């Protein structure tokens, strides 16, 4: 009987130990499983944040790019209208003028070339036409339709776009025509001069 009891007790002890060990292994498995889930959850939280940050940096770079272009590129590449005017031939100036790509100056000097019309010269031949001038101090021209009329730094009368105002015979050049003169790009606003003559309006 004692032997049987010892065997029973031994089996019971072994069973209890087996159950305890089983629960321990199961508990560790659950903890490991929870740790893995926690790691995965943490990772899933970190990854979107990193992606969002990268996207914001990319968007910021894209948004800033046009600003950089607008502030730096033109300043580095563009020349002044005066430099381009002096460097271009009459043919190139005319082509740019007719194409609408010649830069106009509201009042700045177009050229300092020795061939330009001045008060002391009075008249000269330029690009196939004769140039003279008439002064607004003598002929105010109040009836002329010149929008934005003003005097440039060189004393030429200009419109609001920067065209120098001139007169021409209607049979030679109609009103509204544009051309290159010795003092810069001009537009015909008046008539009353000889055929083949361009009369430049000034305030000399």
Neighbours of 127 (CB within 10 A): 15
Residue 143 tokens read as: 């009836």
Question: What pLDDT is stored for residue 78 in this prediction?
Answer: 35
3-class secondary-structure state, position 200: strand
CA distances from 63 to 60, 69, 70, 74, 92 (A): 5, 11, 12, 18, 38
Three-state DSSP at 136 gives: coil
Q: What is the distance between the alpha carbons of residues 115 and 159, in angstroms, rounded to a whole number?
A: 23
Helix segments in the chain, DSSP class H: 2-77, 81-87, 90-99
pLDDT digit of tens for each residue in the chain (204 aa)? 545 555 665 656 566 565 656 555 544 544 444 454 454 444 444 444 556 666 666 555 544 434 333 333 333 333 455 556 777 888 999 999 999 988 899 999 998 888 899 989 889 999 999 999 999 999 898 889 999 999 999 999 999 999 999 999 999 999 999 999 999 999 999 999 999 999 999 999
Closest CA to 186 of 119, 78, 110: 110
Let me know how long the chain is. 204
Beta bridge partners of 198: 131
Distance CA 193, CA 190 (A): 9
pLDDT, residue 115, reads 86
The answer to whether the pTM exceeds 0.75 is: no
**In the chain, what are the domain boundaries?**
1-78, 84-202
Distance from the first to the final alpha carbon of the chain: 143
- Tokens found for residue 60: 């910021």
| Rg (alpha carbons) of the chain, rounded to whole number | 45
What is the rounded CA–CA span in Å between residue 19 and residue 58?
A: 58
Beta bridge partners of 201: 134
Give strand ranges (E) for the chain. Answer: 123-126, 129-135, 150-151, 157-158, 164-167, 178-181, 184-190, 197-202
For residue 124, CA distances in Å to 116, 164, 183 come to 8, 17, 12
- The confidence score (pLDDT) of residue 143 equals 85
């Amino acid at each position: 009987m004692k032997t049987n009891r010892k065997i029973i007790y031994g089996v019971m002890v072994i069973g209890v130990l087996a159950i305890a060990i089983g629960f321990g292994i199961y508990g560790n498995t659950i903890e490991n499983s929870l740790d893995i889930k926690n790691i995965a959850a943490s990772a899933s939280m970190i990854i979107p944040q990193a992606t969002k940050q990268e996207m914001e940096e990319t968007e910021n770079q894209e948004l800033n790019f046009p600003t950089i272009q607008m502030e730096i590129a033109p300043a580095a590449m563009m020349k002044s209208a005066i430099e381009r005017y002096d460097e271009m031939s009459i043919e190139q100036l005319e082509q740019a003028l007719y194409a609408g790509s010649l830069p106009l100056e509201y009042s700045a000097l177009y050229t300092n070339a020795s061939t330009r019309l001045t008060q002391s010269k009075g008249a000269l031949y330029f690009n196939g036409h004769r140039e003279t001038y008439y002064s607004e101090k003598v002929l105010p021209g109040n009836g002329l339709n010149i929008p934005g009329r003003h005097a440039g730094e060189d004393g030429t009368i200009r419109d609001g776009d920067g065209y120098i105002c001139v007169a021409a015979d209607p049979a030679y050049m109609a009103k509204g025509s544009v051309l290159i003169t010795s003092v810069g790009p001009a537009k015909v606003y008046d008539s009353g001069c000889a055929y083949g003559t361009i009369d430049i309006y000034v305030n000399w």
